[in-house]
Amino acid sequence: MRTEQAPVGRGQSDEDARGPGCGRARGLLSWSLAAALATAILIILSSPGVTSWRPLSLLAWLAVVPLLAVLPRQSVKGAFLLGWLAGVVVNLGLCLWFPQLLARFAGLHPVLAVLATVAIATYQGLGWAAWAAVTRAWSSALPMPLLAPAAMVIIERWMPMVFPYSLGLTQYRLLTVAQAAELGGPHVVTFLMVLVGATVAAALTARRSGKPWPWTAIAVTGGVLMAMVVFGQWRLATTAAVRAKAPRLRVGLVQGGEVQTGWGPSFGDPVALLQRYQRLSAQIEQAGAPLDLLLWPEDANPLLLRHDGAHDYPLQSVRRIRRGFQSPLVFGVTTVDVETRGIYNSAAFLAADGRLQVFYDKVRLIFFSEWLPPFMEGWSSRKLYQPGTRLEPLVLSVPGRDGRPARQVPISVFICFEAIFPTKVRELMSRGPELLVNLSDDSWFGDTLEPEQHLSHTVFRAIESRRDLVRAAGSGISAFIAATGEIRQRAEISRSVSELGGLVDQDVRLLQQPGLYAALGDTFCGWCLVVVVVGGGTKLRRRDSARG
């Protein structure tokens, strides 16, 4: 017997004719898309630089809840696409500064710069897609509150990205929470945040489906959070106590650049820029006590310097570096190897007696801006840099003064983009520095979120290494950061010549005991990988058993 479909009447809609299932499917799709976008928006709102209101960063603890709450009702493919959508929006929202950076620094046409940014955001969004798909596919093998944070840590740590970003960075001003980074970088903080979000999502899913609440997950999550608070308070107290007894260094820094605007580079007069840094340096010295060390940011000296230079230029030369000030100086400069014609993004030291030493060359170069694969080198109109290889610290001779004994102070410098890599600074820490210095020129990024994002990375480098860290940035944000992660002083973005100047800190401390991250490294990330692999293996065994 054949059942025929009744014709659609005049008062009957197409949706009624197709049945309620189609309407429910469209409703589920709308809610799922809204959930993915809500997750992305919460992450953007809680990220560094969006607002100075500190409590807003707490939104990040619940940011993954909307997306995770809808995953159980999705196929693996659907979870992948929703995660991809969230990831693309997050990357676009946090990297709105990237197109103008590519245009100014890499010499790309504005249209190509925008297209490149979209392509990078689309690629980096695949990390979120993979995370959502794995969480959905293997949720029957492992509880979501364990699988989701472990998978997110793996994506953050090992997925190759142009500009790596960690959810943990949102907590850089909440120091009790941020201390957990000593156990494995900001990825540990990410784990804690996604653990909380996944537990909340599991509870909501259980309530919606009428299943028992996940009391075990709730109890474990609560216990982990309590342990995090205890650990954070303990490490804040012990680090502050060690720091209070450590030797001091008087450090000054000059912030003499202005943020760039527009789509083209604005180099200005290099001699005038050098003279500006000399003038500001003299003013800093005249305003306070003698300095043990003066810092200029990346590319503060805009005139090319020989890579093998050993002395300052003569007094009559416009290239002379020391003019009007006396302090030992560490500064950023572009150097050239006269034999190979290779150029380097370098840090140099000018001693009080005029001796010059180029002691560090930037190792990790920025893709598109400083480095391109050989087949892409024709895309940029700029001369590209060579990567450095030297990691040994600068040894600063500090004379005895005011009852302090003379001492030799090892100082490690890293440049700009290198601040975002925990493993890079850990490698420098293996050489035994007592102070970390980050030289940067964020003027290329303009008046955007990026300088605050960059600063948030350096806060975590100080916590991981348990070293005071001084950040000198051309147009800001320069800062003195204690080994606890506390930003003791900061100079905001320089939007005009009237806002130029510098900072002096007479209480920079020289520490010798390394942080736990020096010994642990990425052990925590490795255990997260084990968790996900076990979950995947369990899922495959169950599937094979069902087939058998």
The string of pLDDT tens digits covering residues 327-343 is 999 999 999 998 888 89
> Residue 5: is its pLDDT beyond 50?
no
SS3 265: coil
The per-residue pLDDT for 192 is 98
| 77 burial type by CB count under 10 A (0-12 exposed, 13-18 middle, 19+ buried) | exposed
- For residue 196 the two structure tokens come to 């909380």
The per-residue pLDDT for 24 is 66
C-alpha atoms less than 13 angstroms from C-alpha of 228 in its C-beta half-sphere:
22
- Residue range 308-334: average pLDDT? 92
**% of the chain with per-residue pLDDT over 70:** 88
- Residue range 290-311: average pLDDT? 91
The per-residue pLDDT for 504 is 85
d(CA 201, CA 64): 8
Tens of pLDDT, residue by residue over 468-502, are: 999 999 887 999 999 999 999 998 887 666 666 78
Nearest residue to 334 (alpha-carbon basis) of 392, 382, 288:
382
More confident residue, 508 or 103: 508
- Residue range 147-160: average pLDDT? 96
> Residue 514: is its pLDDT beyond 80?
yes
Handedness of CA 374, 380, 383, 388 (dihedral sign): negative
- Residue range 78-90: average pLDDT? 97
Confidence band, pLDDT 50/70/90 cuts, at residue 257: confident
Confidence band, pLDDT 50/70/90 cuts, at residue 8: very low
- For residue 61 the two structure tokens come to 């603890």
Asked if 82 contacts 245 with a C-beta cutoff of 8 angstroms, the reply is no
Torsions phi, psi for 139 (to 5 deg): -70, -20
The per-residue pLDDT for 400 is 76
d(CA 408, CA 424): 24
Least confident range of 16-25, 54-63, 238-247, 497-506: 16-25
C-alpha dihedral (181, 484, 417, 493), degrees to nearest 10:
130
For residue 433, the surrounding DSSP H or E stretch is none
The per-residue pLDDT for 19 is 55
> Residue 11: is its pLDDT beyond 70?
no
Confidence band, pLDDT 50/70/90 cuts, at residue 148: very high
How many C-beta atoms lie closer than 10 Å to residue 193's C-beta?
A: 25
Tens of pLDDT, residue by residue over 37-73, are: 999 999 999 999 888 788 889 999 999 999 999 999 9
The per-residue pLDDT for 9 is 47
Most confident of 136-150, 278-292, 395-409: 136-150
d(CA 237, CA 227): 15
> Residue 244: is its pLDDT beyond 90?
yes
Q: Where are the domains of the chain?
A: 20-240+523-547, 246-260+268-514
> Residue 80: is its pLDDT beyond 90?
yes
The per-residue pLDDT for 381 is 54
- For residue 283 the two structure tokens come to 């003013």
Least confident range of 58-67, 311-320, 499-508: 499-508
> Residue 374: is its pLDDT beyond 70?
no
The per-residue pLDDT for 2 is 41
The per-residue pLDDT for 4 is 44
- Residue range 238-256: average pLDDT? 94
Tell me the pairing of strands 478-481 and 435-440.
Answer: unpaired
- Residue range 172-199: average pLDDT? 97
- Residue range 458-471: average pLDDT? 97
How many C-beta atoms lie closer than 10 Å to residue 453's C-beta?
A: 23
- Residue range 446-466: average pLDDT? 92
Least confident range of 122-126, 135-139, 259-263, 311-315: 259-263
Asked if 377 contacts 397 with a C-beta cutoff of 8 angstroms, the reply is no
The per-residue pLDDT for 223 is 97
> Residue 299: is its pLDDT beyond 70?
yes
Confidence band, pLDDT 50/70/90 cuts, at residue 384: confident
> Residue 181: is its pLDDT beyond 60?
yes
More confident residue, 135 or 263: 135
**For the chain, how many residues are written?**
548
> Residue 377: is its pLDDT beyond 70?
no
> Residue 432: is its pLDDT beyond 70?
yes
Peptide bond into 218 cis (omega under 30): no
d(CA 157, CA 270): 39
d(CA 86, CA 540): 28
- For residue 200 the two structure tokens come to 């909340």
Residues 248-264 as b/e (b if ≥16 CB within 10 A, e otherwise) read bbbbbbbbbbbbbeeee
Tell me the pairing of strands 329-336 and 301-306.
Answer: parallel
The per-residue pLDDT for 287 is 82
Q: The CATH number of 246-260+268-514 is which of 3.60.110.10, 3.30.2130.10, 3.40.30.10, 3.40.50.620?
A: 3.60.110.10
Helix axes 110-137, 523-547, angle to 10 degrees: 60
Averaged confidence pLDDT in the chain: 88
> Residue 288: is its pLDDT beyond 80?
no
> Residue 402: is its pLDDT beyond 80?
no
Maximum Cα–Cα distance for the chain, whole Å?
A: 106
The per-residue pLDDT for 140 is 84
More confident residue, 311 or 150: 150
The per-residue pLDDT for 264 is 61
For Cα atoms 107, 413, 352, give the angle at the middle one, nearest 5 degrees: 110
